[in-house]
Amino acid sequence: MEYGKAWLNYRRIEEKSFCKYLTGIYSQVEDDKINSGIKELNIAFEGMYGIKIPFSRWETDSGIQLKISSDLSKEEYYIHPNGNVFLIEGGSSTGILYGIFQLLRMLMEETPAKDIAVRKAPDNPLRMLNHWDNMDGSIERGYAGESFFFQKNKVMVNERTRDYARLVASVGINGVVINNVNVKQEATRLITKEHLKELKKMEEIFAAFGIRLFLSLNFAAPMELGGMATADPLSPEVKVWWKEKLKEVYEHLPRLGGFLIKADSEGRPGPFTYNRTHADGANMLAEIIKPYNGIIIWRCFVYNCKQDWRDKKTDRARSGYDHFKPLDGAFLENVILQIKNGPMDFQVREPVSPLFGGMSATNQMIEFQIAQEYTGQQRHVCYLLPSFKEILDFRTYCQEERDTVADIVSGKTFSRSNCGMAAVANTGNDLNWTGHDLAAANFYGFGRLSFDMSLSSEKIAKEWIVQTFGSIEKIVKNISQILLNSWETYEKYTSPLGIGWMVNPGHHYGPNVDGYEYDRWGTYHRADHKGLGVDRSSAGTGYSTQYHEYNARLYESKENCPEELLLFFHYVEYSYRLKSKKTLIQHIYDTHFEGVDEVETMLELFEEVKGDMDTDVYNRIAARLKEQLLHSKEWRDIVCSYFYRKSAVPDEKNREIY
C-alpha cells in the first residue's frame, strides 16, 4: 500500500474558470524551486482538470507566468490575473513557490479565477518543524509509526522525503530539524562524514522547496565523538574541536540552517557542568557558525526534574524565567532562544510562558507541540489551532502596544529578524502521515498559522477539510464542528482548570490522577481532602510575579485569575464558588460528564458523513473516535471518583460516580 497524499489531494473540481489560463507556463527564472513549482502545477492541473500544460520557453500574451518582482520581499508572493495572463510573482523563487501553493489551495476551494488576487509575505521569519526522530527509526513522542528520516541508524532519502517536502512547503514551513533534541547514541554521529553524504541529498531536496535543514546537536560531542576530557564551552581546545567539526559539516551541507540544542535538561549535558552559563554555551557555537550564516536555536526547557514534595518554593513553572531572564541581552545575534508556549510542558492548558515579553534584548521563538503527547496522542481528536491562537493573541504588557506573543515572536515588538514559530512534529511513516487522519489538521494548521497569523482556526480547518476530503457541505460542516470543539472537549474530560499532569507517568497516555504526585519526577497538583491546586501567587511559589504588572495582578488573586487557569495559580477548596455559581467540585463532575457527551456528539456528527468519503478513511477515523469515546469515559470515571473520594462531596446530579 502506498502512503497517502494528505491535503495535496488534487481531486476533480467543478469550478473551471481558471482553465482559460492553462495554455502554457512561462517562467522568467529557472532553478530547483521553480522546477518544484512547475511540477506541482502539472500534478495539480492534471488531477483537478485532467489537463496537461506545456512549458513555454518564450513569454507569450496568455497562460501562466512566473516572475520575480523587486517590489516584493524575498518570501512574499503576489498572484493575480493580468489580461489573458495569470501572474505568479515572488520576491524570489521561494516566493513564487509559495504563490503557486496559494493558487492551488484557492483552486481546490473552487474559487473563481477572477477572484484570485492575493499578496502576502510570511508573518514569521522562521517557520519550523522539530522532529523528535531517533536514528534507530523510533520517534520520541511519536504517534504515527516510525521515522521516515532514519531507519537502522541510517539516514533515509527517497521519494517520501520529496513528498514530505512538498507537504511542508505547501503550508509555508521553511526550516526542519530532523532529529530528536535528545541527541544520543548514533545521533551524536550525525555530524560525521559517514552520515553527511546522505544528509547532503536531503538538504538538496529540502532546498528545492525553500526549506533549510537543521540538526539537533549533542553538547557533549567533543567528549563522545572527539574523545576529549571536557565539553567546557570556554575551553580553547573544545572551541577548536567544534570549529573543525562544524567546518566539515558546512563543507558537506553549505545550506544547513544551523543547530537546535537541548542542554542541561532532563539529563542532557550542558554548560552547567562547567559552571558556565547558557549564553557561554550558545555563543561559543554561534560564533563558529556565523561565517556560514548558521543559527543556534537554544531551548529554554531547563528545570529541576527531581523536586522534593516537601519543598513548596521550588516550582518547575518558574525555572525557564529564573534561568534565562538574567541572561537577557547576553546572546549573540545568531542565537535564538526557543521557548515552549507554556512554563511546564504542553499541557492541555497552561498560562503563556512569562519569558515572552520578559526578555527584550534576546531573539525568541515559540515552541508548540503538534505531536499530541498530553492531548490524546493522536488517538483522540484534539485540533490545537484554537489554543495556538489564544496563546499568540495573549497580551504580555511588555509595552503599551504591539505586545502580544504574536508580535514578539514575529519580530515586530523588538524589531528582530531571527525569530518565529516552531512545532514538535506529529508525523511518522504511517500511510496517512499522522496516525489519526484528523491529526493532519494540526500539521497543516500549524504551518498555515506560522505563515499567516491572521488566519482563524475556522478558516484553517475549512481549508484543510476541503483539500483533504472535498467540498461536500455536510463534510465541511460536520468535520469543522468536530475539530473546532475538540480541544475544549478534551480539556473537559481530562485535567481541570489548568492543573494538568493527571496522566500515566512515562508514556503520558490515559488518566492517573496521582501518577506524578508521588513520583520522584514530582509535578504536583497538591490535592487533599479540602481542595486542590498549586499556590503560585506571591505568597506561594511567586511564579505569578514573573509577569508584567497587569497579568501579575490578574494571576495573584483567586477572584481575578482567569478561571480556566485557576488551579494552576491557586490552591482552591472544593466548596469554592466559581463564576458560574457552581462549586469547584461540582464543576469538576459536570465538565467531565459534558466532555464525554461531547465525544458522543462527535461520533454522531461523523456517522452522518458515512458514504460521503472514502470508506477506508471513514473506517479509520470512526474506529479512533470510538476509542476516544471509551477512553474519555475512563478519564471521566477515574477523575470523578478520585475527587469524590477525596472530598466526600456527592454529585448534585446523582450520576454514577464510583
- What are the residues binding ligand GCU (CB under 6 A)? 140-141, 181-182, 262, 266, 301, 345, 373
**The residue to which cell 505569578 is assigned:** 544
Half-sphere exposure of 297 (CA within 13 A, CB side): 29
Q: Please identify which of the residues 203, 373, 437, 556 carries the catalytic annotation.
A: 373
The SS3 assignment for 117 reads coil
The nearest distance, CB 141 to ligand GCU, in angstroms, is 5
Q: 55 φ, ψ to 5°?
A: -90, 130
Q: How far apart are CA 546 and CA 51, in angstroms?
A: 59
User: Minimum Å distance from CB 182 to ligand GCU?
Assistant: 5
Q: Is there a catalytic annotation at residue 237? A: no
Q: Which long-range CB contacts under 8 A does 105-111 form with residues at least 24 apart?
A: 105/170, 105/463, 105/467, 107/13, 107/15, 107/18, 107/44, 107/48, 108/10, 108/11, 108/13, 108/48, 108/466, 108/467, 109/463, 109/466, 109/467, 109/471, 110/13, 110/14, 110/15, 110/471, 111/15
Whose cell is 468519503? That residue is 613
The DSSP line for 314-328 is: --HHHHHHHHHGGGT
Please confirm, yes or no, whether 133 is among the known catalytic residues.
Answer: no
**C-beta of 181: minimal distance to ligand GCU in Å?**
5
Going from the C-alpha of 273 to that of each of 276, 331, 425, 456, 521, the distances in angstroms are 7, 19, 30, 45, 21
Nearer to ligand GCU, 5 or 340 (CB): 340
CB-based contacts of 592: which residues, under 8 Å, 6+ apart? 492, 493, 635, 636, 639, 640
Alpha helices for 90-215 (secondary structure H): 93-108, 159-170, 193-207
- Kindly tell me which of 508 and 631 has the beta carbon lying closer to ligand GCU: 508
Q: Which is nearer to ligand GCU, 482 or 502 (CB)?
A: 502
State in angstroms the smallest separation of the CB of 226 from ligand GCU: 24
Tell me how far, at minimum, the Cβ of 166 lies from ligand GCU, in Å. Answer: 28
The CB density around residue 205, as the number of other CB atoms within 10 Å, is 21
Of 244, 266, 528, 634, the active-site residue reads 266
For 452-526, list the strands marked E by DSSP: none
CA 145 vs. chain centroid, Å, equals 18
Contacts of 189 (CB under 8 A, 6+ apart): 195, 225
According to DSSP, residue 449 is labeled H
- Of 85 and 177, nearer to ligand GCU (C-beta) is 177
126-to-38, 121, 428, 435, 447 alpha-carbon distances in Å: 25, 12, 23, 27, 11
Nearest C-alpha neighbor of 226 from the set 241, 246, 216, 239:
241
Whose Cβ is closer to ligand GCU: residue 115's or residue 266's? 266
User: Within a 10 A sphere around the Cβ of 520, how many other Cβ atoms?
Assistant: 11
Nearer to ligand GCU, 127 or 262 (CB): 262
To the nearest whole angstrom, how small is the minimum distance from the Cβ of residue 643 to ligand GCU? 26
To the query of whether residue 110 is one of the catalytic residues in this protein, the response is no
Q: Which of 89, 345, 437, 463 is catalytic?
A: 345
**Closer to ligand GCU by Cβ: residue 345 or 556:** 345
494, 511 Cβ separation under 8 angstroms? yes
If the CB atoms of residues 182 and 277 are measured against ligand GCU, the closer one turns out to be 182
Q: Which amino acid is at 230?
A: T
Minimum separation from the CB atom of position 373 to ligand GCU (A): 6
CB 345 to ligand GCU: min, Å: 5
Residues with active-site annotation? 266, 345, 373
